[in-house]
Amino acid sequence: MRKHHRLTWYSIVITTLLTAAPAFPGHAADAPGRLDVSGATVVVRSGERPPAEQMAATVLIEEVAKRTGLHWAESHTWPDSGPVIAITVAGAAPEWPREIPKRPGDSLPEQKPEGFRLYVEQQSDAAPTVWLIGADARGALFAAGQFLRGMTWGEGRVSFPAELDVCTSPAYPIRGHQLGYRHTANAYDAWDVATYDQYIRELVLFGANCVENIPSQDDPGPHARVPREEMNVAMAQICQRYGIDYWVWIPAGFDLNDTDQRAESLAELDDFFQTCPLLSAVFIPGGDPGDNPPGLLLPYAAEMAARLQEHHPAAKIWISLQGFDAGKVDAFFAWLDAQQPDWLGGLVHGPSSPSLAETRRRLPRQYGLRHYPDITHSLICQYPVYWWDQAFALTLGRECPNPQPAWYTHVHNWYAPWTDGFLSYSDGINDDVNKAVWSRLGWDPATEPRQTCLEYANVFFGSGVAERAADGILALEKNWEGVLADNGAVDATLMQWQALEAVSPRLGNNWRWQLCLLRAYFDAYTRHRLLYETRLESDVNELLAQAPVLGAAAAMEQAEAILKLAETQPVRADWRQRIEELCVALFDSIGYQTSVPRFQARNGERGAILDYVDRPLNNRWWLEDEFQTIREFSTEEDKLARLEVIRTWESPGPGSYYDDIGNVAQMEHVALPPGPWVEPDLVELRNPHFPWVEDGFSRARLSWLCLMRWPEKLAYRGLAPEGEYLLRATGSGGLRPIVDDVALVPSAYPRERGAFKEFPIPPELIADGEIAVTFGDIDEYHLNWRQWSYLAEVWLIRK
């Protein structure tokens, strides 16, 4: 149960501001500083053009038509009148009446691969021209993306900044996302080729220049519309059409000592390489999955490279050192220093890899270093949400809609200087905003989170709501900060999205819009359930205080009736209904699978938030099970004694203290580590751990489902110097508490979950009325993390 004491005046002010905000004006083509290009002609050079340059015009024309209803013509010749959007590449010499403008005194686009100049030229004797000049074919395509992100648009109208002159190129050469066609994904497996094409196009609009497929691991699942072999080829063809790179992720998930399986694997890969019309790189993870040492993995990679380059001579192999211990890491770099093979493109840094700094230091400069960030998960992952409220962890879970523009700007910019870019881990559309954020930062690390959100909202929702929708996305990230019960801004965020929903009925079928609405409703519903169910548990504890008068049986029966009110008299049923409607709509619009039984999600961890939307946020299930056990006790005295333990579990009495370790709402004495704006890897090390127990439906006490290895420190002040104190703890495994540098000796030391470990505190340590409790490490790092010791709860009991 939780204790809440802070006022939410800040959220009240924010709510007032949001509800009082005026509606944003619609499209104004004749607004000062804007150029009306509604009647434009798209002029391209004649002759053969590379695919990316061809697609620059195609994408621009098609995407403008989808948004505005305008149908711009593509022409090789200059029109007699009307504005022109001219698309070309530096160094070309098209037969046009206008010369391609130069930009004196500045770096020219042709000097920087994938760069472009986007320039508005206005002359008194001619219609204006918007120039999209690529350094190369890709540059022209990225210029079209910049145009679409920056244009102001509405039905039948497009305008553009009249004084714009941008010359830009990407900061990092690798900017992409993994889009594996497999059932593990929460949406990709339900897509056809056209949906993949559109999604890859939209990634390119934000600066992505590669995608990665998973061509063989995991079956496509029950939603697959296209056989896997066809989709593998189709994705290559899509990348070919847009002129971007096509990567594939191919693990060695079997024992490479098995020579028959090894030979079979290489033969199958040879067939795959031959059928792919384009293949730029193959990523072999060293682990997750796979557990082969370098001595087996590297010869296998070399043979794979020979087969790969027979069909795709420019393609390279990339390897990660995921799961490698220090000995394996040293062995790999010793081999690399000695061999330095040409077939190796570089290393990939994923979870459980050596640090990026160490990897870059040891990696010869001719090899690339790609970041492989997990941008799709919120817990039990590489970059978890900083001290996430347990109510969210239990309901939204590991793979929910997770727009985090500020956090991922921090993560990208912390690690990017060591790398040549990134190709993210993604398993669905829940992280769509994060993909846009990473893509923009890979181009320009100085891009502010709100700028990306503005461009995202403008492209996908419309200029009329872009500002408010961008702020609404940023507000969704703020919903996750701190104690949920105290965060009244969560309600303000929902009000903002409800106001947008009311004025934007045309966006009802837009899956990105639906995704934002789903999070806004889900967050607010979860907060109101939390407040309601916390109050119900408080009522139960008050009732149990009367158990000696009522009798144990009557007290438990009445307590169960109170707990059942969460189901019989639920809170905010209207929001709950809207959540379900949006989940259905998302399945229909983009194949997003928010439920295992209803939409055949792979499992509960894979985006199935609808299955957990009503999961109790108090200890109702544990209490019901405890009551059932107590009813079997032989004496009334024993029953009442156990009920008193339950009633006082979190309220141990005057002069005593309780902390639910890892639960940000109830850990007054835990010293929080710095964050989240520190080295992102440290956040994962110092964060609470939410184990996935019984498929997310564990009936254990909530405090046992929110753990830490152990916190850095618990600090207590105002203790009675003459008092006698006991440190009590629950968790699993071992524990080594230290008070003021003195290791405590246990008087009770059970290791099973939920049992009380007890450590008397020597009186001399209490003499100044203050103690600091730290914890000695226990060497269990050779074990799987699921077998480590964890701390759940700590009491300081005054006897």
Residue 463 has pLDDT above 50, yes or no: yes
What was the pLDDT predicted at 215?
A: 96
Q: What pLDDT does 478 receive?
A: 98
Average pLDDT over every residue of 103-111: 57
Q: What is the dihedral of CA 455, 457, 463, 468, to 10 degrees?
A: -110
Give per-residue pLDDT as tens, 773-794.
Answer: 999 999 987 777 778 899 999 9
- Distances, alpha carbon 795 to alpha carbons 1, 87, 619, in Å: 15, 69, 18
What pLDDT, on a 0 to 100 scale, did the predictor assign at position 21?
Answer: 39
**487, 416 Cβ separation under 8 angstroms:** no
Q: Is the dihedral of CA 661, 562, 479, 379 positive or negative?
A: positive
Please write the tens of the pLDDT for every residue from 599-628: 999 999 999 999 999 999 999 999 999 999
Place of tokens 């929080």: 672
Report the amino acid identity of residue 590. Answer: I
Give the integer Cα–Cα distance in Å for 516 and 528.
19
Cβ atoms 224, 256 nearer than 8 A: no
Supply the DSSP string of 406-446, one letter for each residue. HHHHHHHHHHGGGSSEEEEB--SGGGHHHHHHHHHHHH-TT
Residue 691, pLDDT score: 82
Q: Could you give the residue ranges of the DSSP H alpha helices within 479-602?
A: 489-503, 511-544, 547-550, 552-568, 573-590, 596-599
Summarize pLDDT for 297-337 with one digit per residue, the tens. 999 999 999 999 999 999 999 999 999 999 999 999 999 99
Query: What's the average model confidence in pLDDT over 570-591?
Result: 98
Could you please report the per-residue DSSP string of 779-792?
--TTS-GGGS-EEE
Q: What is the pLDDT of residues 627-684, one digit of tens each?
A: 999 999 999 999 999 999 999 999 999 999 999 998 999 999 999 888 889 999 988 8
**DSSP states of 77-106:** S--SSS-EEEEEETT-----SSPPPP-TTS
Phi, then psi, of 210 in degrees rounded to 5: -160, 155
**pLDDT of residue 522 exceeding 90:** yes
Number of C-beta neighbours around residue 597 at 10 A: 9
Q: pLDDT for 477-513, tens place per residue? A: 999 999 999 999 999 999 999 999 999 999 999 999 9
Please list the residues that pair with 84 across neighbouring strands. Answer: 41, 129
Distance CA 614, CA 376 (A): 23
pLDDT at 109: 53
Q: What is the model's pLDDT at position 614?
A: 98
DSSP for 22-66, please give it. Answer: PPPP---TTSTTEEE-TT-EEEE-SS---HHHHHHHHHHHHHHHH
Beta strand spans in 235-365 (E)? 245-249, 281-284, 316-320, 344-349
> What one-letter code names the amino acid at 256?
L
Angle at 677 between CA 674 and CA 681, to 5 degrees: 80
pLDDT in tens, 25-65: 344 445 678 999 999 999 999 999 999 999 999 999 999 99
Residue range 532-561: mean pLDDT, rounded: 98
Q: Which of 151, 158, 132 shows the shortest CA–CA distance to 45?
A: 132
Q: What is the pLDDT of residue 19?
A: 39
Sheet holding 34-36, edge to edge: 34-36, 157-161, 152-154
Percent of the chain with pLDDT over 70: 95
Closest CA to 210 of 149, 275, 282: 282
Range list of β-strands (E), 574-718: 657-660, 714-716
**Coil, strand, or helix at residue 389?**
coil
Q: Write down the residue that tokens 């939409």 correspond to.
A: 599
Taking residues 735-745, report their average pLDDT.
96
Query: H/E element holding 132?
Result: strand 126-134
Express each pLDDT in 691-733 by its tens digit.
Answer: 888 889 999 999 999 888 889 999 999 999 999 999 999 999 9
The pLDDT score that the predictor gives to residue 686 is 83
Tens of pLDDT, residues 200-209: 999 999 999 9
For residue range 231-276, list pLDDT tens digits in order: 999 999 999 999 999 999 999 999 999 999 999 999 999 999 999 9
What is the pLDDT averaged over residues 403-423? 98
Single pTM value for the model: 0.94
Convert 289-298 to b/e letters by CB count within 10 Å (16 or more is b). ebebebeebb
What 3-state DSSP class applies to 564?
A: helix
pLDDT tops 60 at residue 468 = yes
pLDDT of residue 787: 85
Q: Work out the mean pLDDT of the chain and round it to a whole number.
A: 93
Amino acid at position 101, single letter: P
Structure tokens at 575: 């929001």
Is 242 in a helix, a strand, or coil?
helix
110 — pLDDT class (breaks 50, 70, 90): low
pLDDT digits (tens, 9 = 90+) for 130-147: 999 999 999 999 999 999
Q: What pLDDT, in 10s, does the model give residues 156-181?
A: 999 999 999 999 999 999 999 999 99
Q: What's the pLDDT at 103?
A: 64
Query: What percent of the chain stands above pLDDT 90?
Result: 86
Binning pLDDT at 50, 70 and 90, where does residue 751 land? very high
The tokens of 705 are what? 């489902």
Q: What is the average pLDDT across 175-191?
A: 97
Give the tens place of pLDDT for each residue, 60-69.
Answer: 999 999 999 9
**Sign, Cα dihedral of 137, 138, 139, 143:** positive
Sheet hosting strand 84-89, strand order edge to edge: 73-75, 41-44, 84-89, 126-134, 116-123, 165-168
Cα 431–435–439 angle (5° rounding)?
170
14-18, 410-414, 761-765: range with lowest mean pLDDT: 14-18
Long-range Cβ contacts of 76-79 (<8 Å, 24+ apart): 76/43, 76/44, 76/45, 76/46, 77/43, 78/43, 79/41, 79/43
Residues constituting the chain: 799
Q: What is the spatial distance between Cα 14 and Cα 67, in angstroms, rounded to a whole number?
A: 32
